[in-house]
Each structure stands twice: as structure tokens, then as C-alpha cells.
Structure 1
């Protein structure tokens, strides 16, 4: 199913000085001097197309710096006048929208916490009716693509056609090297559902530290994202918010210079022919894999019937442990990634459990049982 969004291409609503689109500036506008100094240095790189700054900062806990407030809009206005860079700010309610528009802000974005709340998104959408301004929407904090899509639809329904998404990663309880797990598959899913939707990557919030930003930036471009939003501060060591994930303008210039831009398609006939040949090989292997999975599930169903008739539990931990150990050992010998192998085996095992559960419950899946119980409640 494709998303039915009315969207103008990125090139029609913003002048990109260089590809990819680079949106940069401090996490927070702290002082007039800090913002103006950073803006001038970013403009001097010739690589930055949009100046960003946090004006209102929704913090996890009270007592932390929550943004300089409306006065920062005047500083942004001055920075735009002096550097020629269009400006972008985050808005979280109708008042923010009104003030940002009055100050001549060029691009608005909706943050991850706001995207997660349809009431907040609708309030912003209502404030934007009749306005022609680009709006970027960050993914919600949690990995819920429906919330992300819902926010895009609400803003689009308000008449905003200069619309884009920002991929900033997702919260996870699992220990990770990232501040927010990229979960690239969700961004790819959104791109598949709406190929014309511009997606900007936010490596600063994904990484949480400046060391990983080059890697994530390159990967985002390799996945055909249209731009990057990277936080930059004249002196990150004294930044009032998110000091570790900000880079200096000089470091940003160096980072961008090292990025490799690759075309999504090639006009080279020899390349196209070779790629088509290799893809045919993959298609054949995929067909065999799916056929074998189907055969495996047919055996799983027989096992489920046998367990049911013999009054044996579905889950047998020793057997699962055996599958996992054997599978990962074989994967290692085949030089397959162990993390990928474990996830694949877990998915197959989960589907086996689901099928056997249905057999134990007279053909009813767990979802059907839960829905029936909820209907009776």
C-alpha cells in the first residue's frame, strides 16, 4: 500500500547549495554571540544550506535548560540577514508556530516527542492551515511507523505540501553504541510507502557522540536519503545541551568533504546488465528459501498436532537451545553474521510457536483469541 500524500519535490522548496542538503547549527541557541558566530562559520564553509537552532527545548526532566525562548528567534532573524542562510526551528505547539512564522523562520520541524502525540500534531496542523512553509517531521521516540505516517498525513491534510521526514533513530532498552537505534528498516519502509517523500537523516541524535557521525552520515547517503541534519556549535565543550553530539563548523566542513555521493541509478549499460544478472540469481535463491520455509512450516504443523494429541507443551527450551547453538555454529562456518543469524532463527522460531499455538487452540491464532476476549470484556 502506497501513501497518498500530496508532496512537492525537495528541489522546489529549498535552494540546496551543494548536495546533499545540509541543515546545521547549534542544538540550542544560547546567546546571541554564540548563535551568530556559529552561523557565520557555517556559512563560510559553503556546504550548509539551512541554519538550525533549538529555541524551545523539551527536556526529559524539569530544571534543565529548556531553551532561550522567543528572544532566540530575533537572533535567528539577524543570523539570516547577515549570512543569507534560511533558518529552521522546532515547534511543539500552536504558539511556537505563530511566533516562528512572525519571525520569518523558513522551515519548521516537529520533534520526536511531539510526533508521538497525535493531539500535539493536530494542534500544530491546525495552526499551519493556509500557510505555505516547509515542514519536516521527525520519527516518534518509539519505533512506531504508524505514528510517523499519521503525523505526516495530519500536516499534509492541513495543506502543507512542502513536506519531509527526519530519521533520528528510536529509543531502545537494549544496550547500544547509539543514543537512538537507527532501525534503518523503518526509514526504508517509509521510503518504500512514499518514494517521493524527502527523508533527512539526523546523525547527531542517532549517535549521541560526534565520533560516530561520519559513519552514520555516509550510511544515510548510501541509503538514498536526501540530506543530513548535523548539530554544530562554535565550541561544543561548553554547549548547554547535548555537548557530546555537536561538532565545530570546521569539523563539519571536513566531515562533509569526506562523504562519498553515489547515484541511485546508473546509465552504464554494462553495469545495468551485470546487476540484472546478479539480481536474477538472488531471485532464484529467494524462491528456494521461501519454498524451504514453507516445507519447514508444514512439518512444524505436524509437530504441533503430535504435541497436542500427546499433551506436550509447545515450548521445549532444550530443543530451542539446540537449534540456536547448531545454527550459529553453522553460520560462523559459512561466514554469516551471527547477529543476523540469531535474529533470523528467532523469527522462524516465533512463527513456529505461533503456528503450534493455533493448532493447540483449535485453529485460532493468539491475535484472534485476544480480540475475542476483548470483545467480550
Structure 2
């Protein structure tokens, strides 16, 4: 996949808190008092950008969907009193027009909107010609091309101050997280567009406040440019997503604990040691690929046998036992159930596909 043209990033350092870009604030603007309260608390922490959900796309009807345009007035007053930059999610042309009138500084496109090129294009056209900062959250599904395509639409609309937000991906499978991180997708995005600022949204990945630090630290280890963390004066009383929000005091503690990594180091001893470990990893990776190639050859031979004997490709009990046994084996060597499950299922899917193709091909040739 070709990288899109470079994106301007000087604004990032200008709005950064400490060494990283930070957006903090409540999931939803609830009352004027709440918005002003959190704004002043964040200002005292030297936070420079405040978020607040005005329109909240919810999965099912009947849930709180935001206070609407009146919340823009509250953000205007918060900005006037504190000098904080303001950031909100927009999902259509009307949202953009109202937010521009309210002098909102930063816009982001949510995961549900990012899946639709039509919605993204409508928002990009509404922002065309402005100097606003725009972040694009990853689509709800792990589709890198869709994520890049959304970013490209804003670039083509002459929006120069662009960034991406990694908020994790929905899954029907049980997981530790509200939205699975799928870190590799974000890593691939950064590889495709190296100059693109990338933030982590640990609140939506975690869904639980006790996981926020570990997720944020992982992102810092991967050299993300910053974070968006939901912060509320009284999280347990929040009107939406109460379990994943933290207080300003908790945010301050989290930020102090974070360790920021350098991307490179010049010391000869460090580079030599790192090269040693990288070489070992490269050898092991090659062995894994070679083993997988051999495994698929065996799977193909098994597929030929199944075809000759008119036996179905999928053997449910056999598959169930294989998966459970490998998960147990993985746990014994400190591999998480989630990792082993994903890996084994991917291998199994490839085997099923190959066997199905072999059986189909043999039947076609015999006819």
C-alpha cells in the first residue's frame, strides 16, 4: 500500500502537555456546571486540550445520546474562562457547521462514522478550506485500507492538520477489553503514513479504568504521539461510559507513572545488544514461517484424503479438542489464551480454506 503525502505536524508540539499530546475531558458534556468544573481542573494540571461529547452515537436506541448543540455554548464558555482548546466528535455536516460557529478547535471522526466513506466525505467537504485540526478514529472493524482512505479524504479536502486515533476494534469474541487493541493495525498505519500523528484512546480500548495505565504505557512503548483519556469530575456518576472514566487526580497520577521511550539510541553497546536479540528473533520468525509452510502441506494431504473418502472438511469435535489443548499448552509457557486462540484460529482457517479448495478442484476435475 502506497503512503499518502506527508502531513504537517508542527502544531502537535505546540499543544502537547509535557512530552506528549494529551486530550482529556468527559465522555459526554452533561451540564454547564460539569463542563466548567472539569475545564478548570484540567487547566490547573496544565492540560491544553479538553474534549467533551456533544452528540453521542450509541449502539442501541434509548441510551443517552448527548445534550446536543447547547453543549457547544458550555464549551465556548469553558474556553473563554480557561483558554483550553476544545475538541468534539462530529458525525455529519450539521455537526460541523454548528461546531465551526462555536469556534471548536479540534474535530474527530468516530469509529462508527469512519466505516462509511459517504459520511467521511460529507464531513471532509464541510471542513474544506478550514485550518481546523482533524483526527480520524479507526473504523470499528480492523480494516487498514478503510482507515487510510478516510484520512486521504481529509487530505484531499486540503485539511493539513491531520492525525489518527487508535481506539480499538469491536469483536464478537469474549475479550479482556471493550475493544480489542489489535496493535498491529495501528503499527501498519504508522508505517504507511510515517508523518501522521497517532494517539491512543485507552478509555475505549479498555472499557474499565483499571486497564488504562497498561494500555497507555503500551502505546508509549510503541512511540505513539499522545493520548485521549476520558476524565470526569465524578466518574461513577457519569451519564455515559462511567466505568472507563477517571478523575483529574487519577489522570495526573497516570501521567506521572508513564515512561516515555526514545526511538533510537547511539551507544554502541546498546546497539550491539539489540542487534543480537533482533537476530535471534529473525531466526525464530523464519522457523515459524517454515513450520507453518510444512503444516499447510500436511493439511493439504489430509484434504485430499477427505475428498477421496467424501468426508467433510470440518470435524467439530477434533477442532474443539485441538483448540483447547493448545490453549492449555500456551498457558503453561505464559502465552495468553487470547493470543493462542487468535493464532490457532487463523491457522485453522487457512487449513480449512486450502482443504476446501482441494476438494472442490478434485470434484471439478472428476466431472
Asked whether the two chains share a fold, i.e. TM above 0.5, the reply is yes
Q: Say which is worse superposed, 101-110 or 9-18, in terms of deviation.
A: 9-18
Matched, 1:290 2:289: yes
Cα distance in 2 for residues equivalent to 1:83 and 1:37: 11
Residues 6 and 196 in structure 2, CA contact (< 8 A), matched pair in contact too: no
* Partner of residue 37, structure 2: 37
* Partner of residue 240, structure 1: 239
* Partner of residue 231, structure 1: 230
* Partner of residue 27, structure 1: 27
Q: Say which is worse superposed, 318-327 or 165-174, in terms of deviation.
A: 318-327
Residues 41 and 249 in structure 1, CA contact (< 8 A), matched pair in contact too: yes
- Give the secondary structure class of the aligned counterpart of 1:362: helix
Matched, 1:186 2:159: no
Shift in alpha-carbon separation, 1:116–1:326, aligned structure 2, 3 A: closer
Residues 6 and 161 in structure 1, CA contact (< 8 A), matched pair in contact too: no
Q: What is the aligned residue count? A: 364
Q: CA deviation at 1:285?
A: 2.2
Shift in alpha-carbon separation, 1:72–1:319, aligned structure 2, 3 A: closer
Cα distance in 1 for residues equivalent to 2:343 and 2:238: 42
Which consecutive unaligned segments of at least 5 residues does structure 1 have? 366-377
* Partner of residue 74, structure 1: 73
Shift in alpha-carbon separation, 1:114–1:272, aligned structure 2, 3 A: same
Residues 324 and 342 in structure 1, CA contact (< 8 A), matched pair in contact too: yes
Cα distance in 1 for residues equivalent to 2:311 and 2:60: 50
* Partner of residue 218, structure 2: 219
Q: Cα deviation per residue 1:132-154 (whole Å; 9 max; x = unaligned)?
A: 21100111223333332221121
* Partner of residue 2, structure 2: 2
Q: Say which is worse superposed, 174-183 or 209-218, in terms of deviation.
A: 174-183
Which consecutive unaligned segments of at least 5 residues does structure 2 have? none
- Give the secondary structure class of the aligned counterpart of 2:291: helix
What TM-score do you get using the length of structure 1 for normalisation? 0.87
Residues 167 and 200 in structure 1, CA contact (< 8 A), matched pair in contact too: yes
* Pairs within 5 Å for 1:1-377: 1-9=1-9, 11=11, 14-46=14-46, 48-317=47-316, 319-320=318-319, 323-324=322-323, 327-328=326-327, 331=330, 334-362=333-361
Cα distance in 1 for residues equivalent to 2:362 and 2:122: 45
Q: CA deviation at 1:11?
A: 4.4
Q: Say which is worse superposed, 77-86 or 161-170, in terms of deviation.
A: 77-86
Residues 164 and 198 in structure 1, CA contact (< 8 A), matched pair in contact too: yes
Q: CA deviation at 1:195?
A: 2.1
Residues 35 and 78 in structure 2, CA contact (< 8 A), matched pair in contact too: yes
Q: CA deviation at 1:42?
A: 0.6
Residues 314 and 352 in structure 2, CA contact (< 8 A), matched pair in contact too: yes
What TM-score do you get using the length of structure 2 for normalisation? 0.90
* Partner of residue 372, structure 1: none
- Give the secondary structure class of the aligned counterpart of 2:286: helix
Q: Cα deviation per residue 1:200-255 (whole Å; 9 max; x = unaligned)?
A: 11111222222221221112211221111111122223322222222111121111
What RMSD, in angstroms, separates the aligned Cα atoms of the two structures?
A: 2.5
Cα distance in 2 for residues equivalent to 1:223 and 1:364: 49
Shift in alpha-carbon separation, 1:123–1:29, aligned structure 2, 3 A: same
Cα distance in 2 for residues equivalent to 1:284 and 1:63: 54
Q: Cα deviation per residue 1:262-295 (whole Å; 9 max; x = unaligned)?
A: 1122222211111112211221222233223223
- Give the secondary structure class of the aligned counterpart of 2:119: helix
- Give the secondary structure class of the aligned counterpart of 2:273: helix
Residues 165 and 198 in structure 1, CA contact (< 8 A), matched pair in contact too: yes
Cα distance in 2 for residues equivalent to 1:65 and 1:209: 19
Q: CA deviation at 1:305?
A: 3.0
Q: Say which is worse superposed, 333-342 or 208-217, in terms of deviation.
A: 333-342
Shift in alpha-carbon separation, 1:132–1:329, aligned structure 2, 3 A: closer
Q: CA deviation at 1:41?
A: 0.7
Q: Cα deviation per residue 1:285-323 (whole Å; 9 max; x = unaligned)?
A: 222332232233333333333433344433345654564
